[in-house]
Chain A
């Protein structure tokens, strides 16, 4: 069965610090990868997705992620975080519609 792990449960950063959130998945076939964000009290929103092509994908709000197939990883990065990035971040994977698996989430707290 597919599974998704996220390295950190809770990350605390100061504004302007760089961010990297780890995500690893277990599935040997072709997958589609996503990062979703859930701001406090709000619904899930798509940050970025990878289907094929350039393994470095850019999303909204300055986020990017790199797909490294050999490492089964899809880490999320942002060069300089803002207080407004405080949220919970979910990595997710689907193998062409057979299932959609979310990671456990990483809570990001950005201190002003």
Chain B
């Protein structure tokens, strides 16, 4: 158990819908990272937040957005969902800004039908 929690574990929805994935970092960690893991794209970094502010952006689609709240939990919002958005979405947390060691959550499996 890494100490990072994600909810829900599974999510099934339809194309065109919007969903929100939630991540609670380890106690004391200020950085939260979001990743997408799919069969065709592999593991891709989406976005990083540090203490409430966006700090780095990877291959995140415009239909996707994220935020980190004052209590440091983070949410990833996926809208206008497409079949290709079906994937495992991981979040990770680390104590600092420097990507030194990330602790990964168990992931949310999103299925878009």
How far apart sit A100 and B104, CA to CA, in the bound complex (Å)? 14
Whether B104 lies near A43 (C-beta < 8 A) is: yes
Query: Which residues of B85-113 have CB atoms within 8 Å of chain A's CB atoms?
Result: 90, 92, 97-107
Q: Which residues of A contact B107 (CB under 8 A)?
A: 43
- The interface size bin for chain B is 20 to 34
Report the number of A-B residue pairs with Cβ-Cβ less than 8 Å: 52
Whether A98 lies near B56 (C-beta < 8 A) is: yes
Whether B33 lies near A100 (C-beta < 8 A) is: yes
Whether A46 lies near B101 (C-beta < 8 A) is: yes
Q: Which residues of B contact A99 (CB under 8 A)?
A: 45, 56, 58
- Chain A residue total in the interface (Cβ 8 A): 21
Whether A90 lies near B99 (C-beta < 8 A) is: no
Q: Which residues of B line the A interface, CB within 8 A?
A: 2, 4, 33, 35, 42-45, 48, 55-56, 58, 90, 92, 97-107
